[in-house]
A and B are shown apart, each in its own frame.
Chain A
Amino acid sequence: MSDALVTMVLHPLPAAGEAKPWEFPVPEHGALANGFRVQRCHRPGQQVVAVEIALDAALDAEPEGLDGIATIMVHALEEGCGPYSAEEFAAELERCGATIGSRVDYIGARISMEVPASRLARALGLLAEALRAPRFAASEVERLVRNRLDEIPHELASPPRRAAKQLAAELFPASSRMSRPREGTEDTVARIDAAGVRAFYDAHLRPGTATAVVVGDLAGVELDRMLADTIGEWTRPVAPPSSTPSTTAEDTGRVVIVDRPGAVQTQLLVGRTGPDRRDPVWPALVVGTYCLGGTLTSRLDRVLREEKGYTYGVRAFAQVLRSPAAAADGAAGTSLLAISGAVDTASTAPALADMQKVLRTLAAEGLTDAERDLAVQNLVLVAPLRYETAAAVAGTLADQVEQHLPDNYQAQLYKRLAATSTTAATEAAVAAFPADGLVTVLVGDAAQIRGPVEALGMGGVSVVTS
């Protein structure tokens, strides 16, 4: 290298300083008189407080033919309650500087609120009204239903969402709720009305099976009284917690193309099912998945992005779909293990061929110690940064509750990640991503990609045109 290119004094790579101890926080437990369980965590300096409400109302609870009603119901909680009309409720929340989001999946229903600590009492009061006194006015439910019907075409037009919908339909039997869109189809959503929404609310929402997680700077906050005066006032008859059906999946290797004539890219989603967090393999699975596709220096992007330029980036991930209580029926948990990304149309088959090669090389040669070390260091050391905000801590605490994990799960996970060997990470990654046992969904231009993809011999290739 010439002087003209290096104009500075070069210094050797510095050594790290001494790491400061950090642990994922252990929550403090409590319960309200109405049965609402409470977890709280004081995080000094976090002026925006996060509140997570976990409710026992998963998608499996939806009545036959009414897919989407759970999601409509949690959204309708905000559309008028107690003394507030829908517009008034939204305005009152805004006055508090509060935001609320809600969603339902195969684990449960969640309402997430964030609000500056100084207005926590007011915002909890609003949240309590939504939970205990929703109006479910016919006109508001009808509007949510029409909105939802109009949103479906937008979702289907989004390549990643269209791919996710197809993969679910491929992996799970049609009889399973997991095979169908979380927020319903045109047919099922069109059947939803206010009476049905209220019936679903009456059947499934109750404080006795709910948990509230509150995280933030709680110094000087009289949280016990605040909670007792708000969500503590919600009374409902006691009922047992729901049970979760068992899951079967069909992940024989095959390719499904969702045709998008003229698409300049192909969206890839390549996956199968795996275990939940309680499986002893989970830490090794996390390390192995990171080595395969956690970042742009992982095996997949090192080839597909940084060597070939086929993509802006592909990622491998493991996402828990179901984690039922260790129940008498022995129902096991389920996760989705997948690789996702987008490649330019002409590079579709070459990118899949390279992906197959990466997976086969991994199976044949295993991970290196250096890769394992880099992954473990990142996954463990990034924790204080990942959990800087109250919302991040609250989200993980609520996940622990919903997935029936012990309070110290996340803290212990870091110790188990650090103890994961290269061999264990390799075995977990190879078992999770077998080159011949993955369902490949491609959202792209079938006329251009079908032939080259068939030539790869990745199993049967079918084309879906809608």
Chain B
Amino acid sequence: MGQTASHDLRAGGLTATEHRLANGLRVLLSEDHLTPVAAVCLWYDVGSRNEAAGRTGLAHLFEHLMFQGSAQVHGNGHFELVQGAGGSLNGTTSFERTNYFETMPAHQLELALWLEADRMGSLLAALDEESLQNQRDVVKNERRQRYDNVPYGTAFERLVALAYPPGHPYHHTPIGSMADLDAATLEDARTFFRANYAPNNAVLSVVGDIDPDQTLTWVEKYFGSIPAGTGKIAPRDGTLSGNIGTEIREEIREEVPARALMAAYRLPPDGTRECDAADLALTMLGSGMSSRLYNRLVRRDRTAISADFGMLRLVGAPSLGFLDVKAASGAEFAEIRGAVDAELASLGADGPSAEEMERAQARLEREWLDRLGTVAGRADELCRYAVLFGDPLLAFTAIGRILDITSTEVQDVAAARLRPDNRAALEYKPVTNSNGGTGQGQAQQEEAGQ
């Protein structure tokens, strides 16, 4: 491959090679012949953070349009061809990226590459008003099904909006607002494609039962003639200094089945030791049935029926920790809040025990084994580290980094970050809908000085 630069990567028993086409497309290949399947994953370096004001949801709506045909693929041809070949496929949109993936029987790999190249190079030949109108309606129903018609369904959107200030590129979530979805035009979609869907703004990974030389030949053949893009607009800077600074608390009165406390904490950005330390802190506080919050709230105080603390890793802005406590009947917020604060403060003051470190590291190691245990999972992680950090090899060394974190680092990040003045909280209180109203809640914002 005359125009292809490449080098070998190897870590943790897993290997990959990295190549770059002349048009800027980065290509990652990793062989695994245990099962006759091959995963194709394509990450575009564009997400909801790239959206302009008044056009929230455009990146995700556009992702739907990518399945509506291209120059050589009719309407639903992408789905029909992949599924007819025995493959599975989808796409997802997040704050910082949009990904598309096909997992194929190994002998159908070339088809997936052809399909991805066809839409990268010729989507606009097929994109029309009819597709846009239809997929706008589909996405609005996706929003209703996943958020608006679900108890507590808008909590994530509300917390994100509280954790990042208005105007911040991460202030809104990828699903977008109904009004902005209605406002999106065909010209918006075309402009979005031209700016972001180019080989030099993408990383392609192919993992599984593949012949790397043959695969690279196909990649060059199908993607090589697509010109590099020039119109990319960098996302606005999402850097925020440290903590939220003051405790934010909103009472939400909605038709929900029970009281719930949900909160977001700003955490260090992904790619830092502090972020891995925060992941461990959240795991020992709120993952599984031996965590501090589970033992305290669910087992001992019996004020909650569930207590989970999860993390959204972000690179271009502070990561977020999400606390989700569903109250037991009769429990009061003050009691739950007090117990949560005490457990978080205790981790910051005294640090974790050796046993807690062992358990949390074992849990995160297991999660990584699951993720890297399928060809699709490995393909996605290679793309992630290539797009967000410029180094795909980091995917194969992630477990080592988690195991390298010390209890002092966990204590430090807990003390610095898991504090009331770095928290935006929602307190859900059930109301009964007696008059057939809209079911929409009324938010009352109050700022609690701390």
A-B interaction: yes
CB proximity to A under 8 Å, residues B324-368: 326, 328-329, 355, 358-360, 362-363, 365-366
Contacts of A307 in B (CB 8 A): 134
Query: CB of B183 within 8 A of chain A?
Result: no
Contacts of B375 in A (CB 8 A): 388
Contact B439 A44 (CB under 8 A): no
Residue in A4, A10, A305, A309 whose CB lies within 8 Å of B71:
A10
Residue in A20, A265, A297 whose CB lies within 8 Å of B141:
A265
Contact B290 A18 (CB under 8 A): no
Name the segment of A53-61, A94-102, A173-181, A249-257 touching the other chain: A94-102
Complexed CA–CA distance, A374 and B107 (Å): 17
Contacts of B122 in A (CB 8 A): 1, 5-8, 10
Residue in A9, A98, A305, A378 whose CB lies within 8 Å of B138:
A305
Complexed CA–CA distance, A9 and B222 (Å): 8
Contact A309 B137 (CB under 8 A): yes
Query: CB of B243 within 8 A of chain A?
Result: no
CB proximity to B under 8 Å, residues A306-320: 306-312
Complex interface bits, A344-377 against B, C-beta within 8 A gives 1, otherwise 0: 1000000000000000000000000000011001
* Size category, B interface: 35 or more
Complexed CA–CA distance, A344 and B76 (Å): 23
Contacts of B366 in A (CB 8 A): 48, 97-99, 115-116
Name the segment of A103-111, A146-154, A449-457 touching the other chain: A146-154
Query: CB of B242 within 8 A of chain A?
Result: no
Contacts of A14 in B (CB 8 A): 110-111, 114, 218
Identity of the chain B residue whose Cβ is nearest the Cβ of A443 in the assembled complex: B149
Contacts of B438 in A (CB 8 A): 262
**Also in contact, A344 and B141, with CB within 8 A (given A263-B439, A296-B79):** yes
Contacts of B140 in A (CB 8 A): 309, 344
Interface size counted on chain A using CB atoms at 8 A? 82
Complexed CA–CA distance, A261 and B221 (Å): 57
Contacts of A133 in B (CB 8 A): none
Query: CB of A382 within 8 A of chain B?
Result: yes
Complexed CA–CA distance, A222 and B134 (Å): 57
Contacts of B302 in A (CB 8 A): 143, 146
Contacts of B294 in A (CB 8 A): 90
Contact A302 B76 (CB under 8 A): yes
Contact B114 A94 (CB under 8 A): no
Contacts of B80 in A (CB 8 A): 297, 374
Q: In whole Å, how far is A373's beta carbon from the nearest beta carbon of chain B?
A: 8
Residue in A18, A158, A308 whose CB lies within 8 Å of B150:
A158
Identity of the chain B residue whose Cβ is nearest the Cβ of A381 in the assembled complex: B86
Query: CB of B311 within 8 A of chain A?
Result: no
Complexed CA–CA distance, A150 and B258 (Å): 8
Which 3 A-B residue pairings sit nearest by Cβ, starting from the closest? A381-B86, A309-B137, A8-B121
Q: Can you report 24 A-B residue pairs in the complex whose CB atoms are below 8 A from each other? A: A1-B122, A6-B125, A8-B227, A9-B225, A13-B72, A93-B289, A94-B288, A97-B362, A143-B302, A153-B257, A262-B433, A262-B439, A263-B149, A265-B144, A309-B137, A309-B140, A311-B145, A312-B138, A344-B144, A378-B86, A380-B86, A385-B35, A385-B87, A389-B374
- Chain A interfacial positions (CB closer than 8 Å to B): 1, 4-11, 13-14, 16-20, 22, 44-48, 78, 86-87, 90-91, 93-99, 115-116, 143, 146-147, 149-151, 153-154, 156-159, 261-265, 295-297, 302, 305-312, 342-344, 373-374, 377-378, 380-385, 388-389, 445, 447
